[in-house]
């Protein structure tokens, strides 16, 4: 017997789905901002003249790039609550699942952003650094005032593409039972006995958002090439 679709539960579920989407977007925004900031530091350290700093940054990047994201999220879900509870004397019943997810995503994504940013820095002609030195700039000034601005201009499409991938990966917070968009869709579908319809709807929303953002990134990249 053919499956009979019933979409009537979706309109009533929209407030819950909107709340779940808010969680997904919060995780994405924080992970992108912190990931780019910490990733920039790691990228600069990987290009440092100090062997100790290079080893630290390289070890960090290789560690997080070699571990599945879902495992990292599970680790932080188990570790962060205990750590914060010990540091700030939090009530054992305090819900800090969102904080755990934010920390896990931010630290994980920074490893990937570090590699993107390092490649962007190395794409800037060395003549730019030499010219900055000739003008009396220190190595740090040359990096922050000359190299990084040019590198980030070239890296914007890749950074945005990684942000889209990150948004898709937020569905993995199910390991901490956090009510993100996908998790909320599944729970509502399970409650109403309409998992297929809710998951299809969630997939359609992901497709529309990610495909639309991808087209915007492609348009920006074409303009960047023409400039």
Q: pLDDT of 87-137, one tens digit each?
A: 666 665 566 788 888 989 999 999 999 999 999 888 888 888 788 788 878
In this structure, what are the phi and psi dihedrals at residue 5, rounded to the nearest 5 degrees? -75, 140
pLDDT, tens digit (0-9, with 9 covering 90-100), for 58-67: 999 999 999 9
pLDDT band at 138 (very low <50, low <70, confident <90, very high): confident
**What are the extents of the domains in the chain?**
11-226
Question: Burial level of 115, CB count in 10 A (0-12/13-18/19+)?
Answer: middle
- Asked whether 46 and 61 are in contact (CB, 8 A), the reply is yes
Question: Comparing C-alpha atoms, which of 145, 167, 143, 150 is closest to residue 224?
Answer: 150
Residue whose C-alpha is closest to residue 127's, from 110, 97, 145, 147: 147
Which pLDDT score, from 0 to 100, does residue 78 have? 80
Q: What are phi and psi of 148, to 5 degrees?
A: -60, -45
Q: Which residue has the tokens 């303009």?
A: 223
Region 32-57: what's the mean pLDDT? 93
The superfamily (CATH) of domain 11-226 is MetI-like (1.10.3720.10)
Q: Determine the pLDDT at residue 132.
A: 79
């Amino acid at each position: 017997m053919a499956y009979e679709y019933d979409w009537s539960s979706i309109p009533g579920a929209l407030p819950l789905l909107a709340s779940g989407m808010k969680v997904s977007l919060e995780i994405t925004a924080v992970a992108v901002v912190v990931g780019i900031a910490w990733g920039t530091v790691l990228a600069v350290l990987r290009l440092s003249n100090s062997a100790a700093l290079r080893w630290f940054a390289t070890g960090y990047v290789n560690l997080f790039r070699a571990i599945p994201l879902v495992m990292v999220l599970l680790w932080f879900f188990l570790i962060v609550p205990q750590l914060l509870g010990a540091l700030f004397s939090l009530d054992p019943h305090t819900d800090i699942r969102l904080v755990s997810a934010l920390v896990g995503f931010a630290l994980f994504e920074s490893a990937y952003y570090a590699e993107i940013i390092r490649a962007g820095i190395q794409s800037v002609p060395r003549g730019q650094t030499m010219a900055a030195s000739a003008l009396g700039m220190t190595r740090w000034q040359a990096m922050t005032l000359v190299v990084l601005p040019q590198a980030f201009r070239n890296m914007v499409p890749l950074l945005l593409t990684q942000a889209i991938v990150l948004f898709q990966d937020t569905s993995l917070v199910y390991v901490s039972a956090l009510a993100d968009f996908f998790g909320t869709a599944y729970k509502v579908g399970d409650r109403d006995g309409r998992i297929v319809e809710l998951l299809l709807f969630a997939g359609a929303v992901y497709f529309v958002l990610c495909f639309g953002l991808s087209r915007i990134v492609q348009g920006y990249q074409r303009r960047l090439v023409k400039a």
